[in-house]
Structure 1
Amino acid sequence: MSFLKIENVTKSYGSLEVLHRVDIDVEEGEFLVLVGPSGCGKSTLLNMIAGLEEISSGEMSIKGKVMNGVHPSKRNIAMVFQSYALYPNMTVAQNITFGLEMHHVPKPEREAAMNRVADMLQIKPLLSRKPGQLSGGQRQRVAMGRALVRNPDVFLFDEPLSNLDAKLRVDMRTEIKKLHQRLGTTIVYVTHDQIEAMTLSTRIAVMNGGYIQQLGTPKQIYDNPANIFVASFMGSPSMNMLPATLRLNGADASVEITDAQGQPVHLPVPVSPDAARLYDGRSVILGIRPEAVTDPDGADKNATTVVHLRNLVDIIEPAGSDTFITTTMAGGDVIGRMRADADVAPGQVCDLALNMDKAVLFDVESQIRIQ
């Protein structure tokens, strides 16, 4: 039985349905990230798990117990908010133990729990301070400590790092990952940042328009996107999308695109069990990640199908460990990721290596993956 089960859940405001028949099973100890653009329904779903929003239809259960209609205080969940939600007139120690005090936990137990999480989060020197005397990162650690001290069934994180600067976000990501590995707790985490989703999760639910677009491991989501939205949203830079024409020759398949000079180029693509849905001359969208468009020396040595072609480079963007290039294919911009020391310059025709093992095809109309 799933530890947290969300079954056919919807959310409506009047006649407007904003969350549509969501089905997710979360196992004990799993780190599930809900990711998607603003307004996709991820925070609404998190609030329904917490009991802060009512479920319009469907069922949600924790450890086999149905939570529909159960008050938030009775759900044994702990939530970390984007805004920290700390009491400004209380010290760090009082903020951490306030929930335990409200549940009439004896003082020695409260202090022992506080010291345990203070050591874990390295905030012991801050216990006598008030929130106004803390940095953003310190406040977020205190908010996490307030959640950890309770030993709940499920931790809920609502965009906890969005108010932090870039370096601090990376540091806090590492801390949250360490905590999960150390404690083995069940976490549901909301973010709009796909890097957070990829680095933190054991599984990701990609959401858009109130629907779950795809549910899977980070590798499944990245390598085998279910549709164009998932392919474009997950990855930085996002997957290149090229209009193409399918060409079939017996058991072999390729796609025809144009290079920077408008000349046709044929790129082989693997034939999958979906081959029956493919036909010669069909218009498709070819998806290929930037790291699969690189310089010959940077190409994956284990790839079985690497196509070499010469193409004009329009822009280069040195990024320290990599050099990103922009070239033109199929009448649009294509981003490639090359080695930092790749010999390339704007306006130069250079050798490119395309790893077609990583290519995927999408239907033009439905935008669903077909290959």
Structure 2
Amino acid sequence: MASLTLNNVKKRFGHVEVLKGIDIAIDDGDFLVLVGPSGCGKSTLLNMIAGLDSISDGEVSIGDVVINDLHPADRDIAMVFQSYALYPNMTVGQNISFGLEMRNVPKPERDRKINEVSSMLQIEHLLSRKPGQLSGGQRQRVAMGRALVRDPKIFLFDEPLSNLDAKLRVDMRTEIKRLHQRLSATIVYVTHDQIEAMTLATKIAVMKDGELQQLGSPAEVYDNPANTFVATFMGSPSMNLVDAKVIEADASRTVLQLEGFDGEHQSIAFDVGFADLAAYVGKTVSLGVRPEDITEQADGEGTLHCKVDVTEPTGADTYVITSLGGKEVVARMPANISLSAGDMAHLGFNPEKLVLFDTDSGNRIR
């Protein structure tokens, strides 16, 4: 395995720049997930690492070696595609061993590796079958086996679970996580599914319009999003964003004013100092709060008087939907919460978890 470094990597198609200077560095054994909406450039970036697409500017390095000009076959990378890309006329065993044959690996060594990988993926009983006889989940395991058997420096996964149904996606996600823990492999994984990103990654790179928005651990990206795009893209339900006027902000106390459900202004105070807010006193900022950080509390200066619009029981939780600042706000509460549509509730925010953004730039203040 090896580390991976992307240094100011750009991609242009004619005069159109689709990747605008990507800087990412991951260590040996990291699981990097590239996540973002369709068209943000994540698959293009993966193809450039693999050598399937050329690099317009910048450098891609594996370990200490710059691989910009290396042929894909010389990069020691294995790729698992969304479409599986199995040879239909070959058996499972032949599909897994094909790459080893092309590298003239002796048959006893090939057989040993096939047995080892098929046992790891629990597909020993499928080795004599052809891809047309397999389910989608079985085909994906075979595609993974073909990559694993090579023992490459880096594994690349291009939306490998997008063709599977919801239940199978969860199962395969667990299998990929288990494989990473067992192999300590260096993996780069592309998905548009932020749940997959949060579940699998040791590092997440959030992309939008060809630009890297944030690189960090799942906890960093979730708890301290760099901007409002990351805040709303990561998390399900996403982070609530509400306009709030800064009334007071010093080292020990913060007071914010929000528009209530009825259009009247309400204030919420915290005995916590948000020092970075001092320059925003009298100005409006965007207040971000995760649904799980909103709770029903006794009336006080740290609560807001809200009208419940809708409740959505999900089994483990109940989503309570209200409005603040003219925007819908979702709170994730215990399943047995005694609130119904039309009820009035006093809702409070966890001040340690609040994130505040500049309304003009969208960048995080605190």
Fold equivalence (TM over 0.5): yes
The aligned counterpart of 2:283 is: 282
**Alignment partner, residue 325 of structure 2:** 330
1:367 aligned residue:
362
Q: Counterpart amino acid of 1:112?
A: R
1:220-299 mapped onto 2 (5 Å cutoff): 220-248=220-248, 250-251=250-251, 252-268=253-269, 270-276=272-278, 278-296=279-297
Question: How far apart are 1:306 and its partner, in Å?
Answer: 9.5
> Conserved in 2, the CA contact under 8 Å of 1:268 and 1:356?
no
Question: Structure 1 residues 244, 272: CA separation in 2 closer, same or farther (over 3 Å shift)?
Answer: closer
The Cα offsets for residues 314-353 of structure 1, whole Å up to 9 and x where unpaired, read as: 0111101000011011112100111001101111112323
2:337 is aligned to 342
Match of 1:300 in 2: none
Contact in 2 for aligned 1:267/1:356 (Cα 8 Å): no
**Residue number in structure 2 paired with 1:152:** 152
CA distance in 2, matches of 1:145, 1:217: 28
Cα deviation for residue 248 of structure 1 reads 1.8
The one-letter amino acid paired with 2:200 is L
Deviation of 1:295 (Å): 3.0
Shift in Å, 1:63: 1.6
Deviations 1:123-181 (A, max 9, x none): 00111111111111100000000000000000000000011111111111100000000
Contact 2:250 2:274 in 1 (8 A): no
SS in 2 for 1:85: coil
Query: Is the Cα–Cα contact under 8 Å of residues 9 and 21 in structure 2 kept in the other structure?
Result: yes
Secondary structure, counterpart of 2:225 in structure 1: coil
2:52 is paired with a residue whose SS is coil
1:255 Cα shift?
A: 1.6
* 1:79, distance to aligned residue in structure 2 (A): 0.2
Deviation at 1:199, TM superposition (A): 0.6
Q: Partner residue of 1:186?
A: 186
Runs of 5+ in structure 1 lacking a partner?
Answer: 298-304
TM-score with structure 2 setting the length = 0.96
Q: Is the 8 A contact 2:79 2:155 kept in 1?
A: yes
The alignment status of 1:308 with 2:309, answered yes or no, reads: no
Q: Which residue of 2 is the match for residue 83 of structure 1?
A: 83
Partner of 2:172: 172
Cα RMSD (Å) of the superposition? 1.6
- 5+ unaligned residues in a row in structure 2: which ranges? none
* TM-superposed deviation, 1:258: 1.9
> How do 1:46-125 and structure 2 match up within 5 A?
46-125=46-125
Secondary structure of the equivalent of 1:70? coil
Question: Residue 313 of structure 2 is aligned with which of 314, 318, 338?
Answer: 318
AA aligned opposite 1:152? P
Change (3 A) 1:273 1:349: closer
Task: Report percent identity of matched pairs.
Answer: 60
Partner of 1:205: 205
Structure 1 residue 267 displacement after superposition:
2.3
- TM-score in terms of structure 1 length: 0.94
Matched letter for residue 303 of structure 2: H
Please give the secondary structure, in 2, of the residue aligned with 1:287: strand
1:40 & 1:318 partners in 2: Cα distance?
34
Aligned-partner Cα distance in 2 for 1:116–1:214 = 38
Q: Which residue of 1 aligns with 2:129?
A: 129
DSSP-derived class of the 2:280 partner:
coil
1:272 positional shift: 4.1
Deviations 1:9-64 (A, max 9, x none): 10001111100111111100000100000000100110000000111011111121
Deviation, 1:250, is: 4.9
